[in-house]
Every structure is written in C-alpha cells, then in structure tokens.
Structure 1
C-alpha cells in the first residue's frame, strides 16, 4: 500500500511549537489514528527508528499515525527542564485535538516506557484505546531520594539518559511523579488496553504490563510478554527481528478492537 508521510508543526496553547510527522495510507484507510508517544529523553522516531517502522506498518494496514516530539526532546527548541507530566499531557491533548480536526473518529494512544504513563494519564473522552510498550506505569519507585533532595534545593537535577547528553529534570517533574498514582487514575477509564513487554527488560519491571492491563478492567485488554527481549525489544541489537512481531501483535489487536466497534 502507498504511504503518505508529511511533517507538520502545531503552535501549542502554551506558546511553543510541537513538531510531528503524520503517516497515513494513500487511499483506503480506517477512521482510526494512532498517536505515538515516545519515552524519556527519546524523540518521535524512538529507539532504532522503531516508530518510523511501526508507522509504515500501520499505514500498510489502513491506520494513520502521528508521532511527535515532547517538549525538550528531538526537534523541540524548549529546554528539557520544562518537561513534566503536566506538559506531556498538554502536548498529547493538543495532538489529539489535531487528529480529530483531521477527521479521525477513533484515537488510540500508543506509549513506550514513560510515554505509556503519559498515554494512561492523557486518555480522555476522545480516546478509545491504549497500547503500552514496556510501560513505566509507576515511576515513583525509580526516583532516588538524594536526587529529589538535590532538586528541592536547586530546582533541578542533572540526569544522564545514557544515549544522549545529560538533561535537567525539574523539581516539578519529581513532584508530578511522586504525587501521581498513574494506574489508579487509569483504572477509572475502562479502555481496551494492550500491553507488550520484554521479559529481559532491566529498566522497567515487566510486571507493570500485567498491572496496566488489570487496571483497565476491559474485556478486550491483553498482555503479551516477549521472551528474550529487552526494554526496546532488541531493536538496537537485532534490528526489527523482534519488533516485527510486536508490530504484528499491535495491528492484530487493533483489528480486533475496531472491527468489533463497527
């Protein structure tokens, strides 16, 4: 299937530009848009350009997608110190509004790692399903007390993501994380949820995928564990060998959910 892919910028209500890429089938397409939310300090293309690959696979099966850079990430010209749960939710909500204006009746949020937590928190009345890849559903246990204390004294702490230059995590980010029970909030939304997790993930506990699906309490929710896969489904070591399977599972689940809704 031929694919249309174009760049777009949205001037947000908060006064900065959100940069995105829209990918969709050239002709026949479903009225469903998948919004792809990247993880901590990543960008709209995600690790190993996995979101580039996924967006094309989705388009080949009739699904449009929008991937974008959160504030402080990728092509954003705002400092990462301004990234918080609140800013990420605001960015996501603006992309949801944009997708609705493009004429998409159904919105699915697909988040990876911290992006999955943002998907859970951003799911509003316009969102009809959520997909979580290696969901960091509770980042409170990942916070070191000494970092939080330093941030309280200085307003931020330097964070080294390991794959790019260090960034500043703000005190507001710490307080957002510490005061937000993501799965408790999500449990009130009753949305079909697909969670996929590598069993060799050493960054986010694979049990969070089961907890995320249990929180959804929806009959179409499902958890899939990928044996031998790490936090990024081995895209940095094996290319798309394993991520092809992840993509196939995503598309199959989307077909099941949205075929039932017709």
Structure 2
C-alpha cells in the first residue's frame, strides 16, 4: 500500500513538473515597427521577437502578404499570427511590398521577384539579430504572398521551411489580356473592393509569364506545408495538389485541407475560428521543421 501511495505521489509530481514546463514554454514578446534598407528603397516591416534568456537563440519566419494587401494582411490576420508565433518561441518579420502599406515607392515597379528580393533582405536582417538562429529561418505567405514565398524558397535555400496559405502558382488565365492592355497603356489597373487601384506594368506580367514554375518547384528541398481551403474561388483548391506534385525534391511536404474554407479563411466572419486553426497548424509545422 505504501509503495502504491509513493508511486502515485511520484506520478503526481512528474505531472506537475510537466504542466509547469508547458506553461513556461509560452514566451512573452516585443513588437517593433522598423525600416529595412532594401535595394534602392526602404522596406517597412514589423519585427516580432520572443523575449529570450541570455544566450538563447530562436527560429524565425519571414511573412509575405498577398496582392492589394499589407504586412498586416486581410482582417489583420498577420497581426494575430506573428504574436502567436512569438509565444511559441518563433520570431518573425512581416513586411510591405513596394507600393503597399507604408511603402513610399510606386507599385508600378513591383514584380514577383521584387518581392523575392525584399523577402531575402528581410531574412538577412533577421540573421543579424543576436537571439535568432540564422540556420533556422523559414518563410510563409498568403495568396500572392504564397507565390513569393515559393519563389523565394526556390531562389535561396537558406530558408529551411515553407508554409503557404492558399498560395498562388502559375500564370493566371487573364494575364495575357491584361498584359496586352499594359503594353498599350503602360500599365494595367487592378481594382479592389477594399482599397484603391494598383497599376501593374508590363514588367509585372513578363516576370510572371517567364517563370518556369515546375522547374522552380523542383529546386525546393525544404519542408513545405500547403494550407488550402476546399471552397477557395480565388486560388483553385486543385492548385495545392499541383504544387505538391511539383515539389519533387522537398524532404517533407504536406497539405492541410480546410474543409469549407474560402480564400480569406473566415477572417471577416464574426466568430469564425479558422484563422486560429491554420495559425496553430503553421506554428506546429515550423516547430517541427525549424
């Protein structure tokens, strides 16, 4: 009987220790709006850092936003996800493309590879922060930001893990017609319901149409998670399967299907918890792979 009581006490103490350790795993964090020096322009960004012990190093993630959006993303979703990453011990930097958000540049100069350049610049900024482990940096992106994350991972294998939310891929059917207008008028004007129009130059379309997407996919060796809604009408759900099949060199790849999920993952629907779900999946992926 005494042995049984002793065993029960030991198990209780172990459970208590485990619970304490789990509680201590959640970091406090700090956020700072910064300007990162890019190639001839400044990159507005928000840096989110876990508060770590002296000498401790953490993983980090570069966050890429979609077309017509900003570093805060639709419904301020990234303003939720970045702190959640930090609480889990993962730093992040989210930035505005040229001509978006707080950028003072003209969007007409934007191409996908301008986004790639700025993502790599933000990665290099992270590498110089003492508490960040430069060998454990990942990248994520939503919609067009997913395309930028994809192309960046293909360009730079310093990125050790990739997550895309409804990531765009390939040439849109409308690109050819829009390109013809851009050639004639000097730009094609893209209109949005939630913001003013953006002017896309011929170079934007030439960049997109000249990308060999399967060849770029084959360069990516990093672990790759695709998060995709089954009811997405902006990026067709089968896109995730196409990208998955093209990632022939990835050491670890997976698709997380959001049943009934649309392109914005419910961020504009009161009470919808899809953002929480995909953020949790994103954190779990980066914790496993970085």
- 2:34 matched residue in structure 1: 8
2:247 paired with 1:220: no
2:49 maps to which of 24, 33, 57: 24
Match among 141, 157, 165 for residue 133 of structure 1: 165
> Out of 101, 109, 122, which is 1:74 matched to?
101
**Whole-angstrom CA distance in 2 between matches of 1:173 and 1:225:** 30
Q: Matched residue pairs, number?
A: 256
Alignment of 1:108 onto 2:138: yes
Measure, in 1, the Cα distance between the counterparts of 2:133 and 2:111.
Answer: 28
Determine if the alignment matches structure 1 residue 49 to structure 2 residue 76.
yes
1:120-166 C-alpha deviation (Å, 9 max, x unpaired): 1112131111111101011x134243322111112211111322111
What is the alpha-carbon distance in structure 1 between the residues aligned to residue 97 and residue 133 of structure 2? Answer: 22
Matches within 5 A, 1:200-211: 200-211=231-242
User: In structure 2, how many angstroms separate the alpha carbons of the residues matched to 1:252 and 1:52?
Assistant: 18
SS class of match (2:269): helix
- Alpha-carbon deviations, 1:73-131, whole Å to 9, x = none? 00001111111112111111111111111143211110111111111111213111111
Could you tell me how far 1:240 is from its partner in structure 2? 5.4
1:110 is paired with a residue whose SS is strand
CA contact (8 A) 2:221 2:251 kept: no
List structure 1 runs of 4+ shifted beyond 6 angstroms.
none
Alignment check: 8 A CA contact 1:191 1:216 kept? no
Question: How much is the aligned-residue C-alpha RMSD, in angstroms?
Answer: 1.6
SS in 1 for 2:278: helix
Matching residue of 1:121: 151
Structure 2: which 5+ runs fail to align? 1-26
Q: Secondary structure at the match of 1:173?
A: helix
Task: Tell which structure's C-alpha radius of gyration is larger.
Answer: 2
Within 1, Cα distance between the matches of 2:289 and 2:227?
16
Q: Would you say 1:236 and 2:262 are equivalent positions?
A: no
Distance in 1 (alpha carbons) for counterparts of 2:274 and 2:124 = 33
Deviation at 1:239, TM superposition (A): 5.4
* TM-score normalized with structure 2 length: 0.84
Structure 1 residue 219: Cα displacement: 4.1
Q: Contact 2:163/2:226 (CA < 8 Å) preserved in 1?
A: yes
Aligned-partner Cα distance in 2 for 1:167–1:30: 40
- Contact kept in structure 2, 1:112 and 1:134, CA below 8 Å: yes
